[in-house]
Amino acid sequence: MAAQLLNGLEVAQRIKESVAARVGEMVRARIKPGLAAVLVGDNPASKLYVNSKVKSCQDLGLHSEIYQLSANTTTDQLLSLIKDLNQRNEIDGILVQLPLPPQIETRTIIEAVDPAKDVDGFNPVNVGRLVRGEESLVACTPLGIIELLDAYQIPIAGAQAVVIGRSDIVGKPMALLLLHRHATVTISHSRTRDLAAIARQADILIAALGRAGMITGEYVREGAVVIDVGMNKLTTEEEIDRILPRSEHAKRLEDLRKRGYTLVGDVEPRSVLGRASWLTPVPGGVGPLTIAMLMKNTLRAAELRRGMKAEG
């Protein structure tokens, strides 16, 4: 029996509708949550991400500002902007789009963002609060995955969860969120011995490595829930043939002709669909939830900063 697909687009839309309704209530009370997005340099992918986030703000009724800085910006110049945004009361969330140019000290910038406005959940203060299970702003992608599991009523408490990937952005906060929901969590990575054997222990398998199609059916226990966080570009017909099921080939080859690539995750759907009970598609799985949770984090930051009861 083929795995059922976890529709991240539908869940993200429900989250956005909830945020929009709550923002409407706050606006009527003369409070308008605001997000400042900071983009340094001319990375096309970063521009696309920032623009989509600002558009989501506009769609949901949040105030948004975008700061486009040159690729030659220094750490001190960016720090000066962050300091100004920290002090502005109408800005509830600050998003610094990563990666930053090499001359900028990324860690210094992350630490400079006011934890109360850190809607990415990267500041060490918020990371520490997450470790302790305290009220905090949490990284958007792992938070969205929890929302997705809850939306489909997939049990977390008592489950064996395996997270493949140990990044500060996804792997580590994902493991902590699952742990706080009473899962038994294993963090694995590219240097884990017999990674496939570890992965096969999972009731919930989170793949966040950044390697196209690496997680095959060999890594998946029969009936497991598989969450694919990867976002990788395939640029040849041979790669499409190797990773994707035949039913998707026509659409993906059309993507290849139009854009020069098609997006896939870290999971090889061709072999995993027959083993998993649930699987997130790429695109349309985890990706839409990341932006939805950024909007929710901005709303939450606005509520917490004003001593209001946070939604969810």
Give the residue numbers annotated as catalytic, written as ranges. Answer: 53, 97, 120
Which has the closest alpha carbon to 212: 252, 177, 181? 252
> Would you say 279 and 226 are in contact if contact means Cβ atoms under 8 Å apart?
yes
For residue 40, the cross-strand partners are: 69
Round to whole Å and give the CA distance between 24 and 165: 38
Using only C-alpha atoms, the chain has a radius of gyration, in whole angstroms, of: 20
> Would you say 38 and 83 are in contact if contact means Cβ atoms under 8 Å apart?
no
Tokens found for residue 112:
């400079």
Round to whole Å and give the CA distance between 300 and 290: 15
Task: Return the number of other C-beta atoms located less than 10 Å from residue 82's C-beta.
Answer: 23
Q: Which residue has the tokens 């600050």?
A: 94
- DSSP codes, 198-263: HHTT-SEEEE-S--TT-B-GGG--TT-EEEE---EEE-SHHHHHHHS-GGGHHHHHHHHHHHS-EE
Percent composition of the chain: helix, strand, coil (DSSP 3-state, to 5): 45, 15, 40
Round to whole Å and give the CA distance between 30 and 124: 32
Full strand arrangement of the beta sheet holding 63-69? 63-69, 34-40, 93-96
